[in-house]
Structure 1
Amino acid sequence: MSYDEPSKEVSVYKIEGFSTVHHVKIIGYTLAKRFVDTFTEVGKFDLAGHTWAVQYCPNVKYVDSRKHDCIKLSLMLVTEPKVPMVVSCDFTLLSQHGTFPSKSKPLEEIFTKARHACGSNFMETSEFEYYEYSCLKNDSLLVQCSLQVVKPSCTEEPKKLNVVVPPPDLNHHLGCLLESKEGTDVTFHLNKEKFVAHKTVLAARSPVFRAQFFGSMMESKTDSVEIEEMKPKVFEAMLHFIYTETLPPQEDISFEMAQHLLVAADQYGLERLKAICAKLLCAGIDAKTAVTTLAFAVRHSCPQLKAFCVDFVASREMLDSFIASNEFENLVSSYPSVLKEILEKVKKMIV
C-alpha cells in the first residue's frame, strides 16, 4: 500500500478548523446596568455544526483594592458535541473610533458538553464609557465576537463490497441429482419404461406424492410405483420440472404435449407447471383448437385459460363458425354454464 493509494479499509483522523466573526448589538445599556445583574442571552449563531450563544451581564462588581463597575460577556455552547472542541473566543467592544482597547483577553476553553459556558475578563464601565473612546451610541453597545473552533473527527471510510454473490443454483444441483440417479429410492413404471427418483424431493414439491410416500397409502410402503394413462415422455418432462423448475431444455413442447403436461400437473398438484402449460396453450390456440381447449380448461379447472378461450370464441370472427360446429353442441350439453359466459361476453361486445 502506497501513501497515495491507501487500502479500502482505513480509519481517518482529521482536524477541522472553523472561524467566524459575529456582532451583537445591545440596546438599553443604562437601564440594564441599573436593574439587571445576571447573565442574559443576547445573540445566537451557528459554527462547526453547532449553535453558540453570547451571554451578557451588565452589572458586575469586580473587587480588588477597590470596587469596579464592570460588564462581562460569556460564550455558551447550546448543542451537544460528539467530540471535545478547542475554542478560542475574543470579545471586543466597537467604539465610534473603531475597536475599543479593552483589557479583555481571548479566552481558550475545551467545550465537552451542551450548556458549557466560559466568560471573558471583566471590562470596566468607566473605561468604555469615557467620552474619548465612547462605545455607547444611542445608549447601545456593539460587541464583536471572534470565534475559532478546532474539532477533531475520527471516521471509518465505508467499506466497498467486493463480494459477488452468485445466483441461486439449487435447481441445477437437483437436476444433477436426478440425472446421476444417486440416492434414488423409488422407481416409477410406465409401460415398458422406468424412472427413478427421490421420495423426499417429490414429496417436497407435490402434495400428491407427499401423501403417497409419507401418508397412509400403499405406495408409502413400497419402492415401486405403477403409473397408468400417462405417456413416458410426459412423466419424464414433469419429473424434470419437479427437480429444476424448468421444462426440458431440448424438449419441443407441442400444443398436444402442453395439454398432456397440464393434465399431469393438475393430477399431482403442480400449480406453477399448470400455469406454464396454460400459457403455452393460450399462445397456440386457433380456430380449430379453441372449442376443445375451452372444454379442456373447464375440465381441469384452469380459469385463466378458460377466460382466454371464452374471449376467443366470443369474437365476431369466431362466433358464427363456433355455433355451427359439432363441438358447440357437445360443449353446451357437457358444460351449460360456459354458454352463459359466452353469451354475456357477446352482449358486452355488442353494447
Structure 2
Amino acid sequence: MGEPSNAVSVFKVETFSIIGYSLMKEFRSTCLEAGKFNLPGHTWALCYYPIIAEYINFSLMLVTQPEVPKIVSFELSLLNQDGKSSPEATKSLQKTFIEKGSIYFSKFMETSKLVASDYLKNDALLVRCSLQVKKPSCIEKTKKIVVPPPDLNQHLGCLLESKEGADITFCLNEETFVAHKAVLAARSPVFRAQFFGSMMECKTDFIKIEEMKPEVFKAMLHFIYTEKLPPGEDVSFEMAQHLLVAADRYGLERLKVICAEMMCAGIDAKTAATILAFAVQHSCHPLKDFCVDFVASREMLDAVMASDGFEHLMSSCPSVLKEILEKVKKVF
C-alpha cells in the first residue's frame, strides 16, 4: 500500500537492543541486522558491523522502493543504563532517497572505547534511532514526472548475450567467447592498448588467453558489460580470488574492490598472512588494509604469526611488516 498523498513529513523513534556483542565481534565486518521498523509506505532496517578497522559501524537501510524521493534526517545514539547519550555516541546525517539504499555511519565508535564505556553493559548495547522523512516540496508540485532508473547496463548485457556485432573472439581451453572491441576498450585500459594501440592484437579478431579459467573470464566479461557479476551464482572465496587476479590483469579497479569485499568475509587467522601477501602482489589496497588491521588486532596477532603463511609474508613482503608494527603500537 502506498503512503497517503498528503503525508509531507513523518517522524519516528525506535530503540533496539544488540545482545551478546562479544559473540557478534567474531563476525567483524559482516553486516548484521539489529531490527526493522515501518513508516507509512516503507520499511527500514538498522544494521551494524561489529568491527571494521577497530570501529563499530552502523547503517540505516531503506528496504522498500519509495514512490517518490524522500529527504531523510536520521540520528543514531548509543544509550547508557540511564537511557542517556552523549555527543561522542551520537551521529546524525541527512540524505535524499530516490530509490532503496542505505545511510552509512562509518567509524561510529572505536571498539576499545566502547568496551570501556558504560554503553556496553551485560554484553548488550541499546541503540536509539530518530528518523524524520519528508517529501521535497518541489516533488509535491511536479510528481507527474518520474525518471526511470539507468538501464545502460541492461542493454549492454543483452548485447553481450545476443552476440550481435561482435568483432573479437577469445579462446580459453578450447572454449570460445565473443565480444565487442569498443566496449572492452572503453572499460579496460589493457584491452584499449590491445585493440587500438600498437600491440599485435589490434590487427586480429582472435585472441588466445592463457592461465585463466573459462568461467572466470566469462564472469569478468559479464561485469565489463553490466557492472555486475552473473546473477544466480554464489561466488566462492576461490572464485573471488581468481576474479581479483583477472581484474588486476585487465585494469578493472572496481571489480578488484568488489572481489576484495567478498574475500574479507573468508579471512581467518590461518589465511590472513597469505591473503595479505596476495593483496600486495596484486596492488589491491582495500584488501591489504583490511588484512593489516586483521593481523594487528589483539585477538589475531599471535595466531597469525603461528600460521604457515606468515613466514612467506615476511620473505615476500617485508615492507608491509612495518605497517603491521605501526598498527600494533596503536592497539597494544
User: Normalising to structure 2: TM-score of the pair?
Assistant: 0.56
State the superposition RMSD in angstroms.
1.5
> Which one of the candidate residues 136, 152, 162 is aligned to 1:180?
162
Seen in structure 2, the aligned counterparts of structure 1 residues 159 and 330 have a Cα distance that, compared at 3 Å, is closer
> Which one of the candidate residues 246, 257, 268 is aligned to 1:275?
257
**Larger Rg, first or second structure (1 or 2):** 1
Q: 1:190-205 counterparts in 2 under 5 A?
A: 190-205=172-187
Number of matched residues? 193
Q: 1:18-33 counterparts in 2 under 5 A?
A: none
Tell me how far 1:177 sits from its aligned partner.
Answer: 0.5
Tell me how far 1:319 sits from its aligned partner.
Answer: 1.4
Tell me how far 1:316 sits from its aligned partner.
Answer: 2.2
2:270 and 2:304 in contact (8 A); partners too: no
> Which one of the candidate residues 258, 265, 277 is aligned to 2:240?
258
Cα distance in 1, alignment partners of residues 223 and 290 from structure 2 = 25
Q: Deviations over 1:235-262 (max 9, x none)?
A: 0000000000101112211111111111
Tell me how far 1:286 sits from its aligned partner.
Answer: 1.6
Q: 1:226-237 counterparts in 2 under 5 A?
A: 226-237=208-219
2:270 and 2:309 in contact (8 A); partners too: no
Tell me how far 1:305 sits from its aligned partner.
Answer: 1.0
Seen in structure 2, the aligned counterparts of structure 1 residues 161 and 341 have a Cα distance that, compared at 3 Å, is closer
The residue that corresponds to 1:239 in the other structure is: 221
Cα distance in 1, alignment partners of residues 305 and 259 from structure 2 = 27
The residue that corresponds to 2:320 in the other structure is: 338
Structure 2 gaps, min length 5: 1-139
Q: Secondary structure at the match of 1:167?
A: coil
Tell me how far 1:321 sits from its aligned partner.
Answer: 2.0
Cα distance in 2, alignment partners of residues 233 and 159 from structure 1 = 50
Cα distance in 2, alignment partners of residues 241 and 187 from structure 1 = 17
> Which one of the candidate residues 300, 305, 310 is aligned to 1:328?
310
Q: 1:133-148 counterparts in 2 under 5 A?
A: none
Seen in structure 2, the aligned counterparts of structure 1 residues 324 and 289 have a Cα distance that, compared at 3 Å, is closer
One-letter amino acid of the counterpart of residue 227, structure 1: I
One-letter amino acid of the counterpart of residue 279, structure 1: E
Cα distance in 1, alignment partners of residues 271 and 312 from structure 2 = 14
Cα distance in 2, alignment partners of residues 263 and 284 from structure 1 = 17
Runs of 4+ in 1 over 6 A off after TM superposition: none
The residue that corresponds to 1:304 in the other structure is: 286
Tell me how far 1:159 sits from its aligned partner.
Answer: 7.5
Q: Secondary structure at the match of 1:321?
A: helix
Q: Secondary structure at the match of 1:242?
A: helix
One-letter amino acid of the counterpart of residue 145, structure 2: V
Tell me how far 1:161 sits from its aligned partner.
Answer: 5.2
One-letter amino acid of the counterpart of residue 180, structure 1: S
Q: Secondary structure at the match of 1:263?
A: helix
User: Normalising to structure 1: TM-score of the pair?
Assistant: 0.53
